[in-house]
Structure 1
């Protein structure tokens, strides 16, 4: 089901919703220059959708959401956007937050402003939690380094090859062809100005992570060439009691490349967090 909520400044945010109504909710937050389509293996998983309401958001400037000119460098804007999604998904009850790549940073923006209000638990999947020069929680791998700055260009001759190479470098295992092409198409559909604006930030999340008081699972592909494994290790080391799941032979798309394993881990973690 497609629907929408209104985020900070009246920005319309597109949502993909799957699963049973009146159940505990899992909110899925995608990465840089992607959309909720990336979560297709979760939104279509019968085990997850039978037990939970899954809500995938298109971040501002991405997918089916509005593309405002400003707000991409303001933690409070991201926090209020995600708060609107949490309110919709949980209807006042705590939700489980799952952040992939840049989505992990958006979750830390929410935590910076709202703490763990209405958060039952967190999953960081191939995620960054910081951004900026020499920020260990934002360390990227060679696929991302090689794509920049060309992937931010408004010149197709520069951006298209860079984004094509980046999308190809996301996975370590074979990915379904149509989904791989969808990821590339989504990247190209995000305006260059938005792609660039998301990088114009300098965010230290050490205190946010150290103060996290809900159970957290850090999942990361050992062969991730987009977000370095050390970024996941950094987050896990800062968060008291964090669990880790390092996935050998898996790249930046653990929820696609090893969907069955990822979904099983997510379902188990959610079951613990929503146990009555």
Structure 2
């Protein structure tokens, strides 16, 4: 099998923060931007990038969000405003010359969807994919399990190193279904991502302000959405993701996400792209193909 060539770039966001991103596939194909989750990096999508069935007809792009991985790690409060995160995504779009990409976000990375849609019309992207995640910051207390919520205090504290270490170990173990054993190399890589993030960046990420009005306006306007649920997830309550995107508390006259599809991947936990890669690929590419055909 031929080794796929990856193009890597360090881009500059509007405030000067460096954003690391890379891409694989043919740039002329429909693009999918992947956004990772809490305290990790875009390397969580390594097996997606290595899958030729993903990249043969689609241009895959991923980036380390600010405060994570190989991207800049600003710590001032103003550097974590919603607009800053939207501009990071814009830097990726411009840096790879993307045209109306699909956005597949995972876990807490799904909150970036609300940032993007707060500062752009729904037509800026082709569709959104919520992968076992939190579509806006206010949804976290309702969707997160007690285990996930219990991670937050030790991850944002600098006063108890043993507690932070034990919580980090438990957090990474909890990313997959109890019956799934992460390869040890993957386990160590995920822990390494956690270690790379300054505790202040973690606190800023979790405490940043966000207005999800634009997110719900996009849903009302018919922007296609796919929700991917892992029934064995110990981080999020799957059914509550649907409740969150259909919530009527954030936009007057909103009756629910107009164009919504939900896929449950049996046996998967919080990382269906690792645990059930074939089923995950089928769900994502099926959704993308359907949306593209509807545009013709």
TM-score norm. by structure 2 comes to 0.85
- Tell me the alpha carbon deviations over residues 96-115 of structure 1, each in whole angstroms, 9 at most, x when there is no partner: 10010121101111101112
Q: Return the alpha-carbon distance in structure 2 between the equivalents of residues 137 and 219 of structure 1.
A: 19
1:179-207 Cα shifts (integer Å, max 9, x gaps): 12211211121111111111113545366
* Partner residue of 1:142 out of 131, 146, 151: 146
Unaligned runs of at least 5 residues, structure 2 = 1-5, 247-255
CA contact (8 A) 2:265 2:280 kept: no
Q: Using the TM superposition, name which of 244-253 and 93-102 deviates more.
A: 244-253
TM-score (normalizing by structure 1): 0.91
**Which has more radius of gyration?**
2
In the TM superposition, what whole-angstrom CA distance separates every residue of 1:2-25 from its partner, at most 9, and x where no partner exists?
212211301110012111232221
- Structure 1 residue runs without a partner (length 5+): none
Partner of 2:236: 227
In 1, Cα distance between the equivalents of 2:239 and 2:283?
21
Report the counterpart of residue 190 of structure 2 in structure 1: 183
Query: Structure 2 residue aligned with 1:261, among 268, 275, 279?
Result: 279
Find 1:244's aligned residue among 255, 258, 262. 262
Cα RMSD for the two superposed structures: 2.0
Once the two structures are overlaid, the 10-residue window that deviates more, 137-146 or 49-58, is: 137-146
Across the two proteins, how many residue pairs are aligned to each other?
Answer: 273
Q: Does residue 217 in structure 1 map to residue 217 in structure 2?
A: no
Query: Which secondary structure does the structure 2 equivalent of 1:82 belong to?
Result: helix
1:26-175 equivalences in 2 (<5 Å): 26-70=32-76, 71=78, 73-89=80-96, 91=97, 93-132=99-138, 135=139, 139-154=143-158, 155-172=160-177, 173-175=180-182
Distance 1:269 1:85, change over 3 A: same
- The answer to whether the 8 A contact 1:218-1:236 is kept is no
| Cα offsets for 1:212-261 (capped at 9, x unmatched) | 23211011212221122243122453311200012232211111111111
Q: Is the 8 A contact 2:176 2:271 kept in 1?
A: yes
Query: Residues 72, 228 of structure 1: CA spacing in aligned structure 2 closer, same or farther, 3 A cutoff?
Result: farther
CA-to-aligned-CA distance 1:53-87 (integer Å, 9 cap, x gap): 11111001111111112345411111111112123
**Matched position secondary structure for 2:207:** coil
